[in-house]
Structure 1
Amino acid sequence: MKTNIFAIFLTVFTLQFSNAQNDQLQWLDIDLANYKYPFPVDVLDLNVQAQDLKMAYMDVKPDNYNGKNIVLIHGKNFNGAYWKTTIDALIKEGFRVIVPDQIGFGKSTKPAYFHYTFQQLAKNTKLLLDFLEIEKSAILGHSMGGMIATRFALMYPEITEKLILENPIGLEDWKLKVPYQSVDWWYKNELKKSYEGIKKYQLVSYYDNKWKPEYDQWVNLLAGWTLNSDYKRVAWNAALTYDMIFTQPVVYEFKNITSPTLLIIGTRDRTALGKPLVSAEVEKTMGLYSNLGKETQKKIPDAELIEIENVGHLPHIEKFNAFINPLIKFLKK
């Protein structure tokens, strides 16, 4: 009886806590107009695929500019805001830091229709650098941003002084293991998103079931959109980018990278899209970053590898010093 009473109490408490979290959740404009970024945000006007789009970005210039630039490219479940501590550290060292929100993300336009390719996102980033009159830059990509950064380095080697990949996805070709799902399938999944579901995914996938209060803000930035009556637009763009990730692998072209490259890998990471769609046996073979980092280092000519033990998908959030110190050392070479 005591066990049953405790179980009932725990269920009621969990529901009340969950409802309290939802009550505190901030409604967010789909372009995050009511969310303040850590640095001033400007906008680049683009005309792409017969439509006018706005690409938001931060361009942070240090007083002690050392003549070097770096572009930070966010992951799929994030935007430029999560780079704050990284920007702070880099400008302290004299680097100019450019942080775009890719089309479909953050404060940038969420198109009603768009053919997403990593080539197009890389080209948009190149257009931003052209607009800012930046001829050379280091390119850093995290998670999905690592796939964009890789494509950028392949398309624009003359611009890419150095390439840094922080727990990038796309180190394996998931379409070889995961049955194809249509954009409509991904869209229906995105429409089901909630605060609880988003937090559970990040808790398990990113942080090994060890949550800190400072992680809440990255859940809220996604969950706040679900309160918006235009959330379908956000969900549609998210579905399109899932399709891009699955159908446009970069893993086969790592051998063609010519820029000096640094891999920063949290070895606890197990991120792999499509795990719920495969058997338990297949799932065990996916997202093994303790192996993927080493395998990728061998594929990229003369790549350096920094492995951070007991850290998951977000080294620059979870264990900042272990991330930033080798990054700055690499940039200064």
Structure 2
Amino acid sequence: MKNLLASFLVLIVFVPQLKAQKDTLRNLDIDLSNYQYPFPVSYIAFESQGEKLKMAYMDVKPDKPNGKSIMLLHGKNFNGAYWEQTATALTNRGYRVIIPDQIGFGKSTKPVHFQYSFHELAANTKRILDHLNVTKITVLGHSMGGMVATRFTIMYPELVEMFILENPIGLEDYKLKVPFQSIDKWYQTELKSDFTSIKNYQLNSYYDGKWKEQYTPWVNLLAGWTLNKDYPRIAWNSALTYDMIYTQPVCYEFENITAPTLLIIGQRDRSAVGKNLAPETVRKSLGNYPELGKQTKAKIRNSELVELDNIGHLPHIEDFDRFIQPLMKFLER
């Protein structure tokens, strides 16, 4: 009887909470035109691979410039909006902050036909800097943005003053442990996504089973797309970028980075692309960020490693104060 009562109490607490989460879920269009970003959004237009593309970005300027610029590169399941608190802190210290949405993400174009590569994303990102006449930049990449940032830094070393990785994926070569999956299979999986599946993935992969309500908006952004008639095109682009991550490792080229480098690594993170596809015995070895952080520091000359205990895949969302302190110390040394 006590167990039944306890279950009932949990239910009446949980159901309204779940309803409140889903009440904030709304249909979002393919370019997020009905979702407001924290800062004004601009676009550059160009043609690539026969597609006419628009790439969105935010250019956040400080009231009292210190003459330095920093570019924040988002992860695969995110867009530039989740950098709001970071950008505000940086502009308060005088930094100009540039925040792109990569092609296929956020407010940028979702192409019908496109061969994704980190080289292409890096070149597209440079188009924004060229448009803004920015010739020196600090580059900070989170998650998949870390892979874009790595490729950018290797391709354009003359532009990069400092290089920062926040829990990047791609610190290991996934195709050595994860069985190959066709783009069609990635696509079919993406088509099945909804609020529950997206939240469960983030709960287990990003936050090690520890959920806070402050994470829900980032679930709603993805889940809102699943309600839109254009979601199949969004899902197709997502499948293409999964294939890009799987087939184009950057971990073998860290030794080519010469810029001063900071690694900020949440130690609870266990993210790895395709982890659920690997055999159970292999799965446990994937996404071992405590070990991957040390391995990556050893590969990059002139690098520092900050290990954040009891923090998962998104330090700047999960515990902003612990994230921003080492970042500012590195930038202002």
- Say whether 1:122 aligns with 2:122: yes
Distance 2:23 2:213 in 1: 17
User: Which whole-Å CA distance do the structure 2 matches of 1:21 and 1:267 have between them?
Assistant: 28
Shift, 1:7, TM fit: 6.3
- TM-score, reference length from structure 2: 0.95
Give the 5 Å matches for 1:204-223. 204-223=204-223
Q: CA deviation at 1:275?
A: 1.6
Q: How far, CA to CA, are the matches of 1:208 and 1:75 in structure 2?
A: 18
Residue of structure 2 equivalent to 1:110 = 110
Q: 2:296 matched to 1:296?
A: yes
- Asked whether 1:268 is paired with 2:272, we answer no
The 5 A counterparts of 1:1-333 are 18=18, 21-333=21-333
Work out the number of aligned pairs and report it.
Answer: 333
Change (3 A) 1:45 1:176: same
Measure the CA separation in 2 of the matches of 1:4 and 1:328. 51
Distance 1:140 1:149 in 2: 7
Q: Which amino acid in 2 is paired with 1:98?
A: I
Quick one: distance in 1 between partners of 2:24 and 2:140? Answer: 34
Identity %: 62
Deviation at 1:200, TM superposition (A): 1.0
Distance across 1 between alignment mates of 2:138 and 2:225: 32
Amino acid corresponding to residue 132 of structure 1 in structure 2: L
Q: 1:228 to 1:163 in 2, by over 3 A?
A: same
1:2, distance to aligned residue in structure 2 (A): 7.2
C-alpha separation between the residues in 1 aligned to 2:21 and 2:294?
Answer: 40
Distance 2:284 2:53 in 1: 41
Whether contact under 8 Å (2:258, 2:302) holds in the other structure is: no
Q: Is the Cα–Cα contact under 8 Å of residues 262 and 306 in structure 2 kept in the other structure? A: yes
- Measured at CA, do residues 285 and 134 of structure 1 come closer, stay the same or move farther in structure 2, by a change above 3 Å? same
What secondary structure does 1:167 align onto? strand
- Give the Cα–Cα distance (whole angstroms) in 2 for the partners of residues 322 and 19 of structure 1: 32
Q: TM-score, normalised to structure 1's length?
A: 0.95
3-state SS of paired residue (2:168): coil
Distance in 2 between residues matched to 1:251 and 1:205, nearest whole Å: 20
Superposition RMSD on alpha carbons, in Å?
1.8
**Structure 2: distance between partners of 1:9 and 1:90:** 44
- Partner Cα distance (1:307, 1:95) in 2: 25
Unaligned runs of 5+ in 2: none
> What do the CA deviations read for 1:77-104 (whole angstroms, capped 9, x no partner)?
0000000000010001100000000000
Where 2:67 maps in the other structure, the secondary structure is: coil
Equivalent residues of 2:118, 2:248 under 8 A apart: yes
